[in-house]
Amino acid sequence: MALDASKRTKKPSGKKPSKRKTNPGVRVVGGRIYDSSNGKCCHQCRQKTMDFVASCKAVKNNKQCKLNICHTCLLNRYGERAQEVATLSDWHCPKCRGLCNCSFCRKEKGLEPTGILSHRAKASGLSSVSELLQVEGDDSFAYVKKEDVSIEDVANEHNKAAGKKKKALNKKTKANLDDVSIEDVANENSKAAGKIKKAKATNEVKEEEILIEAKLPIGISLTNVAGIDIPIEETGNLLQFLEFCSAFGEALDLKEGQAESIVSELFSCGRSTRRQPYCSVIPVMIQLLELISHDRDMSLSLSATDSTWFSSLGECLLQSGVLSDVFPPETFTSGVSEYTKMDASTRLKLLNFLCDESLSTLAMRNFIETKSVESEAQRREAKEKAAAAKEKEKQLRQKMQGDLVKAHMERNGAPLSIEEHHAILSQIKAEVKEAHDKMLEAKGMISRKRQRCDAAGTDPILLNDDGLVLWKLKCFEEEPKFLLQDLGTFGDLSPHEKWLAFKPEQKQEVEKYISAKG
């Protein structure tokens, strides 16, 4: 039974529909108004825009030349200003003068197109591409389109070759055809496989080059923090205390600079004198002890004037079971006189111990939770601000396009002068830039809030297998703000870690290393 012709379906055409529109109308791209109906076509760039153009005044065979050159091309390619030549009654276009260097005219002369050379001309100190060609020679430049062959493209070629081979084999089975086509397809298949292998090898080489190029610069031993000279072996303990104060200073009601004052007191007085208790170290210890004892339902009345705080500290150490090799139980039975005999490093260990113990208290956990909630709320607020700023920027860009088109329509299709065009653009771009800056600021807030809140501690930026840890601590504000912790390897004989800082001029190298390793 024959099918009705009206019901027959047409086979889809192999050709893809063209994306290019024959009449795209009025568009604004990069500050240029493209108008397919009212625009004037530039002979050089062959774009139909409402830009200011210089029209040729030459007359040949009683006919005036109809070529136009837009102000951008005339300046970049020939070093002439459109508004100046437009006032001349006898101005001839570059084509009429035999100087045109557009792709069409060069091909007519048997020369290759030059491509974009305006940047090279300016870099050479020349006014235009035309002058560059005069200096270097017309045949010195030839634009060659680079074909980027990706692994996916080569893989598609490989699949096509395999399909041809299969098709050729089927034809041979059915019609007993010659083997020549099969061999050709097999060769093509081998070539495609070779291209895949070569493309993969190239990518692997590039990855190796990136790894080789990205090296961490040599750091400087960190022996001074916040203007305080410290022993190299105590740098890590000192930074631990300062970072704790930076994160939990609000919970402990620490005043600004109090943490640095404690450290200064430890390492400036501790080396030379033991004649008086430290006036700022002991109160902080007592505060942390009261926080811990309250959480453990221990009613203590501690005072810096007697030894009760010191014996309580010993009891706390005994319950924790840590540092027993450094502080045996009998250390705290002899009274506070034992504390006065301790050096700065030993006292700093006690201080850090109390800081660590306090983190498990209910008060500190509540503080961390509160700060986490606040941080999340700030992150949401920043995200909303970024979205609003992005939307405003989008609206302003649309307004810029609309204002340009409106200005063009108000002149009944006449092109805007260069000054008028730039004036409109400058006014609107200033508003767009302001909106864009607000969006970047809001995005920066989001980026910062994506990290854990300050009260949740600090994570390293990078941790390598070779024992190198890269940090960016809140307590260290000296540029470039990166610190390197060298933990050493298992075979190292040195028992101490090393902390290194970087010079400000090394910041770019460090960031490049982080980008490559991350």
pLDDT bucket at 204, cuts 50 / 70 / 90: low
* Claim to verify: residue 447 and residue 479 sit in the same structural domain: no
* Claim to verify: residue 326 and residue 402 sit in the same structural domain: no
pLDDT bucket at 7, cuts 50 / 70 / 90: very low
pLDDT in tens, 366-424: 999 998 898 888 888 888 877 887 787 777 777 766 776 666 666 665 666 777 767 77
pLDDT bucket at 56, cuts 50 / 70 / 90: very high
Query: Residue 466 burial (CB < 10 Å; 0-12/13-18/19+)?
Result: exposed
Longest dimension (CA), the chain: 118
Kindly report whether the peptide bond that precedes residue 480 is cis, defined as omega within 30 degrees of 0. yes
pLDDT bucket at 175, cuts 50 / 70 / 90: very low
* Claim to verify: residue 322 and residue 239 sit in the same structural domain: yes
Residue 489, pLDDT > 50, answer: yes
Q: How far apart are CA 449 and CA 39, in angstroms?
A: 49
φ, ψ of residue 284 to 5 degrees: the values are -70, -40
* Claim to verify: residue 299 and residue 391 sit in the same structural domain: no
Closest CA to 87 of 55, 110, 114: 55
* pLDDT score for 346: 92
pLDDT bucket at 170, cuts 50 / 70 / 90: low
Q: How far apart are CA 356 and CA 336, in angstroms?
A: 22
Of the candidate ranges 9-18, 236-245, 335-344, 431-440, the one whose mean pLDDT is the lowest: 9-18
Tokens found for residue 472: 């960016």
3-state secondary structure of 146: coil
Select from 404, 428, 456 the last residue of a domain.
Answer: 456
Range of the domain at 471: 459-516
- 441 lies in some domain: yes
- Spell out the SS3 assignment of 315-343: HHHHHHCCCCCCCCHHHHCCCCHHHHHCC
Query: Residue 436 burial (CB < 10 Å; 0-12/13-18/19+)?
Result: middle
* pLDDT score for 450: 44
- 172 lies in some domain: no
* Claim to verify: residue 450 and residue 507 sit in the same structural domain: no
* pLDDT score for 139: 85
φ, ψ of residue 394 to 5 degrees: the values are -60, -45
pLDDT bucket at 276, cuts 50 / 70 / 90: very low
Q: How far apart are CA 121 and CA 130, in angstroms?
A: 9
φ, ψ of residue 228 to 5 degrees: the values are -110, 125
- 214 lies in some domain: no
Residue 319, pLDDT > 90, answer: no
pLDDT bucket at 505, cuts 50 / 70 / 90: very high
Q: How far apart are CA 53 and CA 39, in angstroms?
A: 10
Percent of the chain scoring above 90 in pLDDT: 24
209 membership: H or E segment, kind and range: helix 180-213
307-331 mean pLDDT: 87
Cα dihedral sign, 9-10-14-15: negative
* Claim to verify: residue 396 and residue 507 sit in the same structural domain: no
Tell me what the pLDDT averaged over the chain comes to: 77
Q: How far apart are CA 145 and CA 121, in angstroms?
A: 20
471-500 mean pLDDT: 78
Residue 38, pLDDT > 90, answer: no
- Count, residues in the chain: 518
Decide if 418 contacts 83 (C-beta within 8 A): yes
Select from 456, 475, 505 the last residue of a domain.
Answer: 456
pLDDT in tens, 291-301: 998 888 777 77
3-state secondary structure of 172: helix
* Claim to verify: residue 476 and residue 384 sit in the same structural domain: no
* pLDDT score for 272: 43
Q: What's the number of domains the chain is made of?
A: 4
Decide if 70 contacts 49 (C-beta within 8 A): yes
Percent of the chain scoring above 70 in pLDDT: 69
Closest CA to 197 of 153, 154, 165: 154
Closest CA to 50 of 420, 489, 376: 420
Residue 11, pLDDT > 70, answer: no
* pLDDT score for 184: 56
* pLDDT score for 96: 93
Left, alpha or beta for 63 (phi > 0: left; psi -120 to 50: alpha)? Answer: beta
483 membership: H or E segment, kind and range: strand 483-486
Decide if 340 contacts 232 (C-beta within 8 A): no
Of the candidate ranges 215-224, 429-438, 442-451, the one whose mean pLDDT is the lowest: 442-451
Closest CA to 234 of 516, 497, 515: 497
3-state secondary structure of 13: coil
Select from 438, 456, 474 the last residue of a domain.
Answer: 456
Residue 352 or residue 481, greater confidence: 352
User: How large is the C-alpha radius of gyration of the chain?
Assistant: 38
Q: How far apart are CA 349 and CA 259, in angstroms?
A: 15
* Claim to verify: residue 450 and residue 469 sit in the same structural domain: no
Q: How far is CA 198 from CA 14, 159, 192, 205, in A?
A: 32, 17, 10, 10
